[in-house]
């Protein structure tokens, strides 16, 4: 007997679900130490707009409406990296001479100076077959040194893939990967081959698709 079933697919994208909560449902924003994926710690703070609030970015009106997850209100603010989200619905956000140009809804992550990695964690909601597609890029202009970073994808404490991202585009694409409920899928960014975190902000678009049978 032939059976046909059409699995209904569910799509998860962090930039569509972000609010000030952390964790926000399946998505968590924090940091890890290099090559220790389970060292994850949540960022303590959320600010809805970095303009006027977040050190280094506070003088740039073009960053109004860009929210930040980080340890903003402690002495650790600059050491643990940061995740930005352009919450503006119809406005690009610009930083510096030409360092960031964030589309509406765009996410960006940035490592810390001591190679602490900024991390976006997805906690698997149910055992299923998943498809992962994540793209990483920079919009830094020619006057800007641009990023030199290392980007990683892990499941629990096992790394699946890493890449260098400089002035290029990177992508992780995994089809038909079976995951269990509660597994951690993590996207991490470190300070790269140059061992320097300056200009290391990288934009990312993550899409995780589940076959729900």
Chain positions contacting Ca ion, by CB under 5 A: 148, 191-192, 194, 196, 200
Query: 115: which 2 tokens?
Result: 């190679």
For residues 155 and 189, which CB has a smaller minimum distance to Ca ion in the complex?
Answer: 189
One DSSP character per residue, 86-97 reads: E--SS--EEETT
Min separation Cβ 52 and Ca ion, Å: 27
Min separation Cβ 149 and Ca ion, Å: 6
Give the CA dihedral 34, 85, 169, 29, nearest 10 degrees: 20
Query: Are 186 and 32 within 8 A, CB to CB?
Result: yes
Please name which of 44, 43, 41, 91 lies closest in space to residue 66, comparing C-alpha atoms.
91
For residues 128 and 188, which CB has a smaller minimum distance to Ca ion in the complex?
Answer: 188
Min separation Cβ 169 and Ca ion, Å: 17
For residues 131 and 166, which CB has a smaller minimum distance to Ca ion in the complex?
Answer: 166
Query: Are 27 and 120 within 8 A, CB to CB?
Result: yes
Please name which of 51, 55, 180, 36 lies closest in space to residue 110, comparing C-alpha atoms.
55
For the beta carbon of residue 197, count every other beta carbon within 10 angstroms.
Answer: 25
For residues 128 and 150, which CB has a smaller minimum distance to Ca ion in the complex?
Answer: 150
Min separation Cβ 166 and Ca ion, Å: 9
Query: Are 188 and 124 within 8 A, CB to CB?
Result: no
How far apart are the C-alpha atoms of 188 and 138, rounded to whole Å? 16
Min separation Cβ 197 and Ca ion, Å: 6
- Beta bridge partners of residue 32, listed in sequence order: 117
Please name which of 151, 158, 157 lies closest in space to residue 187, comparing C-alpha atoms.
151
For residues 76 and 194, which CB has a smaller minimum distance to Ca ion in the complex?
Answer: 194
For residues 20 and 195, which CB has a smaller minimum distance to Ca ion in the complex?
Answer: 195
Min separation Cβ 49 and Ca ion, Å: 26
């Amino acid at each position: 007997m032939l059976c046909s079933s059409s699995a209904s697919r569910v799509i998860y994208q962090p930039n569509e679900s972000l609010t000030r909560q952390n964790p926000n449902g399946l998505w968590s924003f924090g940091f890890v130490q290099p090559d220790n994926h389970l060292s994850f710690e949540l960022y303590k703070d959320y600010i809805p707009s970095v303009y006027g609030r977040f050190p280094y970015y506070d003088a740039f009106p073009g960053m109004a409406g860009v929210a930040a997850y980080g340890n903003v209100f402690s002495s650790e603010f600059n050491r643990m990296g940061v995740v930005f989200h352009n919450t503006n619905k119809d406005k690009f956000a610009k930083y510096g001479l030409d360092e960031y140009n964030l589309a509406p809804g765009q996410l960006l992550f940035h490592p810390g100076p001591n190679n602490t990695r900024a991390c976006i964690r997805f906690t698997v909601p149910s055992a299923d077959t998943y498809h992962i597609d994540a793209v990483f890029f920079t919009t830094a202009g020619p006057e800007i040194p641009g990023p030199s970073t290392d980007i990683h994808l892990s499941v629990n404490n096992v790394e699946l893939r890493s890449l260098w991202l400089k002035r290029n585009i990177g992508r992780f694409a995994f089809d038909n990967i079976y995951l269990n409920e509660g597994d951690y899928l993590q996207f991490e960014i470190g300070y790269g081959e140059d061992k320097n975190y300056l200009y290391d902000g990288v934009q990312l678009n993550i899409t995780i698709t589940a076959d729900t049978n």
